[in-house]
Amino acid sequence: MCGIVGYIGPQDATPIILNGLKRLEYRGYDSAGLAVLNGDRIEIRRDAGKLSRLAELVNGSPISGSPGIGHTRWATHGAPSARNAHPHLGASGRVVVVHNGIVENFLELKDELTAEGTQFNSDTDTETIVHLVEHHQAAGLDLTEAARRTFNQILGAHGIVLLSADEPDKIVCARIGNAGGVVIGLGENENFIASDIPAILEHTRKVIFLESRQMAVITKEAVRIETLEGLPVQPEVHTIAWDAVSAEKGEYRHFMQKEIHEQVRALTDTLAGRVDFNDGRIRLPELNLTPELAKRIRRIYITACGTAAYAGMVGKTLIEKIARVPVEVVIGSEFRYSDPIIDEDTVVLAISQSGETADTLAAMEEGRKKGAVLWSIVNAIGSQAMRMADGYISMQTGPEIGVASTKAFTAPLVDQYMLAILLADLRGTIDDATRRALVADLRLVPDLVSRTLNSEPEIERVALKLKDIHSCLYLGRGINMPIAYEGALKLKEISYIHAEGYPAGEMKHGPIALIDEDMPVLCLTPKDPWHEKMISQIQQAKARGGVVIAVATEGDELVEGLADHILWVPETPWMLSPVVTVIPLQILAYHIAAIRGLDVDQPRNLAKSVTVE
Ligand code: F6R
């Protein structure tokens, strides 16, 4: 998972691929490789380590030719190593693949292929793709049809690029869900493919963005796009302005919208290198969490501000439930004035996108002064919160530019879920079967988020209906209570509409007096352990004439019969449900603000990084 670059045309593919991958280096990776059709043979160079290592390999043993495909990988299945680095060759040596995403049904597919006698040469899920393609080719299909059949067999969200020595005039690629984009760059008698525009911007400004469940057959003269079902697609060709900002915004109107959509990829990157789905274990090396430290921790304080603090509230439920360690969440601006009870067996865990928020840093300093172990979950590499900590988890979201935080909210939810599992494992408070089941659920996350994002058009229609409201109550319970706070914060900060997040159970103690036909009530009602309680909340709001917008699990007829508007989400294991339920709330806030014509990316009075008390 990470960067993809491909080229077909009269030039040598190798330098184009190496330069393109270089431009995607900021996303991080642990191995790199490329495959080029050299005459009649596919040649591969790949290894663990940085692009400089790949360049060394290519210098030592040059390859020329076209087409070619390249990849930077962050490990999800199997350690970073030469054998696990992409591209992956099929058994015949005639087909090769690079891939971003997680093949959710990889174990089943691998078992089927192994039973047929296929030998696997890596630990990756990606290798199943190339073997499946060869399997269909052996049955008489050409590359395009064999690829189509394969794309329809694999579950999850993916960007995939394939080439075959037997059909040297083409590259076949696909996008399934939102595991990072697939961008096709149009040249004169040559064409380019990449996961992100910066990789190919030096060659062309004319691009086509593949939509989910579309595939493309690319020759040097032409690009043919079809759905995975085989229907032809007339693509829109976008012209990208030369300035870096427009290039970065790509097909989206605002950075916030782009960043909402980037969450599939950000979450796939979050898992990469940390989760080993083969042995069901979590690895967070930068956290420096030894078994000895894990066993002596008696309390964790999570400290953060705004959106990051709401992420911490979800983390409290996860860590207490999975690792059985008491957790308190204290907002950064209060921490140092609250005289927290800290000793050397206390952890202070700071969460911060920027890593420079003054109140969060002051809380960390307080923790340091009192002898706590300091951890941070941070997005900005090298920031103060990362440098100060004894151990950290770096959010793998890439830069977040929109002032309203989105992808830097969902990433720490998954980071804390992983942290809770690791802590439980090292403390011996979790049995093997539970650990494996919790880890296996992580594999579903990118696709669940991707499917939720597909509802954007329906959510936009709800936004149109709500665009003129003056106020809104957001209600949630249990693990989704902080999502009510976060949803309300998203709405107020970018649309300037008053919104309040509230624990649903507290309604009857006061706020219920506010409900009438002018006060819409948004209820977080996924199928989690608090579902029934939330149903009765909806009934109470309806009884008082309130307009109810519900976030509900697909197929929930009970909620469908009660609510005025529904934002559907797919069924999700409850401990991961906040990662999914927050998505429609981000999209709803975004569209209400965009419809009102507001400056979504830079709302008034707000700064991306709050470096003053
Ligand atoms: C809201 C938002 C803010 C930040 C808060 C902390 O969308 O972005 O509430 O979450 O200012 O910022 P960081 O995470 O940089 O410490």
Q: Where are the domains of the chain?
A: 3-250, 261-443, 450-595
Q: Whose CA is nearest to atom 5 of ligand 1?
A: 306
Distance CA 175, CA 172 (A): 11
Q: What are phi and psi of 196, to 5 degrees?
A: -145, 150
Establish whether residue 352 lines the binding site of ligand 1, counting it when its CB lies within 6 angstroms of any ligand atom: yes
Nearest CA residue ID for atom 10, ligand 1: 307
Tell me what pLDDT residue 3 has: 87
Buried-state track 49-67, b at ≥16 Cβ within 10 A, e below 16: bebebbbebbeeeebebbb
Which of 259, 305, 386 to mutate to test ligand 1, by most ligand atoms within 8 A of the CB atom? 305
| C-alpha separations of 206 from 24, 61, 203, 235 in Å | 19, 34, 9, 12
Q: Where are the alpha helices (DSSP H) in 175-216?
A: none
| CATH architecture of the domain covering 450-595 | 3-Layer(aba) Sandwich (3.40)
Query: At a CB cut-off of 8 Å and minimum separation 6, what does 284 contact?
Result: 274, 393, 418, 419, 422
Report the candidate in 330, 304, 321, 332 with the shortest Cα–Cα distance to residue 478. Answer: 321
Q: Give the span between the Cα atoms of 446 and 271, in whole angstroms.
A: 10
Q: Is 312 in the pocket of ligand 1 (CB under 6 A)?
A: no
What span, in angstroms and rounded, lies between the C-alpha atoms of 476 and 329?
Answer: 18
CA dist., res. 179 & res. 154, Å (int)? 13
The first and second tokens of residue 510, run together, are 């006061």
Ligand 1 centroid vs 30 CA: distance in angstroms? 29
What's the CATH number of domain 261-443, 3.40.50.10490, 3.40.50.2020, 3.40.430.10, 3.40.50.720? 3.40.50.10490
Given a contact cutoff of 8 angstroms between Cβ atoms, the answer to whether 311 and 270 are in contact is: no
Give the SS3 label for residue 548. strand
Helix axes 577-595, 481-495, angle to 10 degrees: 20
Instruction: Tell me the two tokens of residue 410.
Output: 């969902």
Query: What's residue 428's pLDDT?
Result: 95
**Distance, CA 262 to ligand 1 centroid (Å)?**
18
Determine whether the shortest distance from the Cβ of 305 to ligand 1 is under 6 A.
yes
**Running DSSP on this structure, what letter comes out for residue 262?**
T
Q: Write the DSSP string, 274-324.
A: TEETTTTEE--GGG---HHHHHH--EEEEEE-HHHHHHHHHHHHHHHHHH-
Q: Which pLDDT score, from 0 to 100, does residue 329 have?
A: 98
**Count of alpha carbons within 13 Å of 463, Cβ hemisphere only?**
22
Encoded tokens for 605: 């009075």
The reported pLDDT for the residue numbered 241 is 62
Question: According to the model, what pLDDT value does residue 245 have?
Answer: 56
On the question of a common fold for 3-250 and 261-443, the answer reads no
User: Is 379 touching ligand 1 by the criterion CB < 6 Å?
Assistant: no
Selection from 582, 196, 178 nearest residue 408 by Cα = 582
The pLDDT of residue 558 is 96
Q: 383 in ligand 1 pocket by Cβ < 6 Å?
A: no
SS3 state of residue 34: strand
Phi and psi (nearest 5°) for 564? Answer: -80, -40
- List, run by run, the mean pLDDT of 10-residue segments along the chain (613 residues): 89 96 79 94 94 94 96 83 93 94 90 94 93 96 97 92 96 85 93 90 90 94 96 89 62 92 92 90 96 98 98 98 98 95 97 92 95 95 88 90 94 98 97 97 95 96 96 97 98 96 93 90 97 94 93 97 97 98 98 95 79 63
Residue 357 CB less than 6 A away from ligand 1: yes
The per-residue pLDDT for 177 is 79
* Residues with Cβ within 8 Å of residue 84, at least 6 apart in sequence: 31, 73, 75, 77, 78, 122, 123, 124
Active site residues: 2, 608
Per-residue pLDDT at 242 = 56
pLDDT at 529: 96
- Residues 475, 606 contacting (CB under 8 angstroms): no
- The full DSSP string for 63-112 is ---SSEEEEEE--SSS-SSTTTSSPEE-TTSSEEEEEEE--TTHHHHHHH
- Does domain 3-250 correspond to CATH entry 3.60.20.10? yes
Dist. CA 405 → ligand 1 center (Å): 6
pLDDT number for residue 607: 74
Omega before 340 within 30 of 0, i.e. cis: no
- Pairing mode, if any, of strands 391-394 and 498-503? unpaired
Distance CA 588, CA 474 (A): 13
What pLDDT was estimated at residue 612?
65
pLDDT at 170: 97
pLDDT of residue 171: 97
Number of H helices, E strands in the chain: 21, 26
For residue 305, the CA-to-ligand 1 centroid distance in Å is 6
Q: Supply the pLDDT for residue 244.
A: 56
User: What is the model's pLDDT at position 167?
Assistant: 96
406 lines ligand 1 (CB under 6 A): no
Alpha-carbon span 431 to 60, nearest angstrom? 49
Atom 3 of ligand 1, nearest CA residue = 306
Q: How far apart are CA 104 and CA 364, in angstroms?
A: 39
